[in-house]
Amino acid sequence: MDLPVQQFRTKAEQAFLDLFEGAEKALPGARDPFVSGLRTKAIETYSRLGLPHRRIEAWKYTDLRARLTDVHPLLKAEGVAVGEAELERALGREVARLPAYRLVVVEGDLRADLSDIAGLKAKGVEVVSLGHALEKPPSWLKSVLAQVNLREDDPVLALNTALMTGGGTLRIGEGVTLDKAIHIIQLDGKGEPATTVTRNVVIAEPGSSAMLVESFGSLGLRGLQRNAVTELRIGAKAAIRHMKLQRDGEEALHLSTWLVELGADARYDAFQFSTGAAVARNQIYARFAGEGSAADLSGSFLMRGQQHCDTTLLVEHRVPRCTSRELFKGVLDGDARGVFQGKIIVSPGAQKTDGKQMTGALLLSETAEFDSKPELEIFADDVVCGHGSTSGQIDEDLLFYLEARGIPEAEARALLIQAFVGEALERVEDEGLRDAFARASAEWLGVRFD
d(CA 50, CA 151): 15
Contact 258, 285 (CB under 8 A): yes
Specify the pLDDT at position 356.
Answer: 96
pLDDT score for 5: 46
At residue 8, the pLDDT reads 79
Query: Residue 364: what residue type?
Result: L
pLDDT of residue 78: 87
At 252-292, the pLDDT tens digits run 999 999 999 999 999 999 999 999 999 999 999 999 999 99
> Structure pTM?
0.95
Q: How many helices (H) and strands (E) does the chain have?
A: 12, 19
Which residue ranges of the chain lie beneath pLDDT 70?
1-7, 449-450
What's residue 1's pLDDT? 40
In 3D space, the residue among 268, 272, 367 whose CA is nearest the CA of residue 312 turns out to be 272
Q: Which amino acid is at 412?
A: A
Whether the Cβ atoms of residue 159 and residue 197 lie closer than 8 Å to each other: yes
Helical segments of 92-138, H only: 93-96, 117-122, 130-135
Q: Is the dihedral of CA 328, 332, 336, 337 positive or negative?
A: positive
Predicted local confidence at residue 79, as pLDDT: 86
Report CA 364 to chain centroid distance, whole Å: 25
Give the integer Cα–Cα distance in Å for 324 and 314: 11
What pLDDT was estimated at residue 450?
57
Euclidean distance between CA atoms 253 and 90, whole angstroms: 16
Burial 230-239 (b: 16+ CB within 10 A, else e): bbbbbbbbbb
